[in-house]
Structure 1
Amino acid sequence: MGAGIKDVARLAGVSVKTVSNVVNGFQFVSDKTRAKVQAALDELDYRPNLSARLLRGGRTGIVALAVPEISSPYFAELAAQFVQHAKGYGWTVLIDETQGAKDNERLVLDGIKSHLVDGLVVSPLALTAKEIESRRDDTPLVLLGERLAHSPVDHVSIDNVAGARAATEHLISLGRTRIAAIGSQPHVSGGTAALRLRGYRAALKTARIPYDPQLVVPAKSYHRADGYEAMSTLLDRADRPDAAFCFNDLLAIGALRALHEHGCRVPEDVALIGFDGIEDAEFHTPSLSTITADRAEIARLALAFLERRITGGATASPQEGYASFELTLRGSA
């Protein structure tokens, strides 16, 4: 074990209070005494117990980020942004995975780790607004993802409708008229899939392209295999699409594999756009056009909302923050 403050006081021949004053930078210590204490600190390689100091102030200096899948590139890159920007507040980020399961999300929101963390940032998939409102824990909370109706907490998202519309409008501008949508989730009434489908349909309507439900292919999850399967289904039909908007980049990467196996040229035969802007999208052949969400801005907004709650804004009205996005054009469209 490292040296404690009593060891430093004993070596320097001063009181524990004097050592504490030097460690905390109090000015009312003589230069001679300060030098003596500093020499003892250096000799013993003393490190202050920051955890104890924070706990004495009622805080741990730790915030938690709970996401559905740590292995998802989008959430992994998002978590990295949270870790980076939390340093500006002097916070450490504890990362948890809920797997999108209601019981796991409820455990997080009900404060299973409330004795460890000062605040929570959660990206829920399964919980309803009513369930969030009835949480038993009062740890400051910020939600990520789609806003749940009447949710009484701070919330940060991107405009999924506008992003999906921008992707589809670009495909239309290329002269494509049979544009598939991969990633619908008809069993879910709200959420990301519903909003991205709405943006897709709005772009078609504006361009006076009839909506064809046969071109909308569901995906149980948003993994590469789901995109591969969905695109394979489309390509096995006689009337193939000439473009596809995938509801995330992993679906699009899987779709690229299916297009390659079916001998389709991208973008000549089928143009393709994903959503999220993960790093992997740039390193496929062809490189993937995508809607790039500003994950750094998501982290900054969420942490700023959380800091306000932690430092005394517990009763303030909930805030809504929207991070920006951009259409990143590469080789696939």
Structure 2
Amino acid sequence: MDRARVGLKDVARLAGVSVKTVSNVVNDYVHVTPATRARVTAAIKELNYRPNLSARNLRQGRTGIIALAVPELDIPYFAELARLVIAAAEERGLTVLIDQTGGVREREQLVAENFRAHLIDGVIFSPLALTPEDLAARMDDTPMVLLGERVYEGPADHVVLDNVAAAREATLHLAGLGRRRVAAIGAQDDVAAETSRLRLTGYLDALTTAGLPADDRLIVPVEDYHRADGAQAMATLLDSGAASDAVFCFNDLLALGALRTLLERGFAVPDDVALAGFDDIEDGRYATPTLTTISPDKAGIAGRAVELLADRIAGGSKVAAREVRVGHQLEVRESTRGRHA
């Protein structure tokens, strides 16, 4: 049968059910028995039926497009997250529009107030500069799911990672290797630097747990979270004379920059200095040595964010704002265990 001509009636006839039942299965309506769903799904596959998403969206007053707004696409973490969001959205028949805010408050306010309301049905948003007060004052009612570390009391669902626990685990790993002078690269004083504050808290908590003193000379600030910042911060640490035998970097780009400086200065990693990062970007798996890092459940972040947003778009606006926490794990690689461990 010509796929272009296959309709709900054809699927219903083959499956032996009503057109309404086929519609319920196509739209993922929950109250369909497993046996009926299986028959309909088999008929859809046999006939190679494809729903007319454009027509359906038009009937429902939707575009079938969602937005993902992130600070920087040239940071691999956000690029990898965008790929996963696109994949999760495709499973629901949604197209993703990508927006880059640069972490600039004015651009983030445009996203929060949905200046593209005529184009999209909802937005997944990772803000850096906006305050809880900014979001509380939001007038737009377009569905929104927030990503990131800030605690926002409404008005949107929120997918978060426990940065304190993750940073604590990375630092305790370094201390557990017998390293007694564990430095931290990534501190920031900016009002919007919540990621930095949470990871610094986890680092300091771990030092206390391990019975190690906190030394301000071992906490090196950075302006941004790029490779060059990590390289410069590592140089600053080495030039300061504050001896360190391990370094926890607040993201993998900082760690890769720090690694380059250590190798240029003649230090062996991990023999002289053990090194750990955060984000588990692909670059770290191919560095020499490979990079020990905190690996957030990025697929979980993307999947849950799309799920929450799709639920809001489908009419779940009466449900109170939800916070979903995703997991992480420590990936131990050569930069702390050595090549032959």
* TM-score normalised by structure 2 residue count: 0.83
Question: Post-superposition shift, 1:190?
Answer: 5.5
From 61, 79, 83, the equivalent of 1:76 is 79
Q: Is 1:226 the counterpart of 2:229 in the alignment?
A: yes
Q: Is 1:268 the counterpart of 2:251 in the alignment?
A: no
Q: Summarize the alignment of residues 110-125 of structure 1 with structure 2, pairs less than 5 Å apart.
A: 110-125=113-128
**What is the aligned-residue identity percentage?**
54
Amino acid at match of 1:318: A
Question: Post-superposition shift, 1:28?
Answer: 11
Q: Which moved more, 1:93-102 or 1:232-241?
A: 232-241
Q: Summarize the alignment of residues 1-333 of structure 1 with structure 2, pairs less than 5 Å apart.
A: 24-26=7-9, 50-51=53-54, 53-188=56-191, 191-333=194-336
Q: Which residue of 2 aligns with 1:7?
A: none
Deviations 1:50-96 (A, max 9, x none): 53542232111111000000111000000000011111211111111
The answer for unaligned runs of 5 or more in structure 1 is: 1-19, 31-46
Q: Which residue of 2 aligns with 1:14?
A: none
Question: Post-superposition shift, 1:312?
Answer: 1.1
Deviations 1:276-322 (A, max 9, x none): 00010011111100001111000111111111111111121111111
The answer for unaligned runs of 5 or more in structure 2 is: 14-49, 337-341
User: Which whole-Å CA distance do the structure 2 matches of 1:222 and 1:328 have between them?
Assistant: 20
User: Which whole-Å CA distance do the structure 1 matches of 2:272 and 2:51 have between them?
Assistant: 64
* TM-score normalised by structure 1 residue count: 0.85
User: Which whole-Å CA distance do the structure 2 matches of 1:107 and 1:126 have between them?
Assistant: 12
Conserved in 1, the CA contact under 8 Å of 2:53 and 2:93? no
- Corresponding residue SS for 1:81: helix
Deviations 1:256-292 (A, max 9, x none): 0100111000001000000000010011111100001
User: Which whole-Å CA distance do the structure 2 matches of 1:27 and 1:286 have between them?
Assistant: 58
Q: How many residues align?
A: 298
- Corresponding residue SS for 1:121: strand
User: Which whole-Å CA distance do the structure 1 matches of 2:10 and 2:192 have between them?
Assistant: 61
RMSD across aligned C-alpha pairs, in angstroms?
A: 2.1
Deviations 1:216-257 (A, max 9, x none): 011111000000000001111323211000000000000001
Question: Post-superposition shift, 1:172?
Answer: 0.2
Question: Post-superposition shift, 1:208?
Answer: 1.4
Question: Post-superposition shift, 1:148?
Answer: 2.9
User: Which whole-Å CA distance do the structure 2 matches of 1:89 and 1:316 have between them?
Assistant: 21
Amino acid at match of 1:296: A
Conserved in 2, the CA contact under 8 Å of 1:111 and 1:136? no
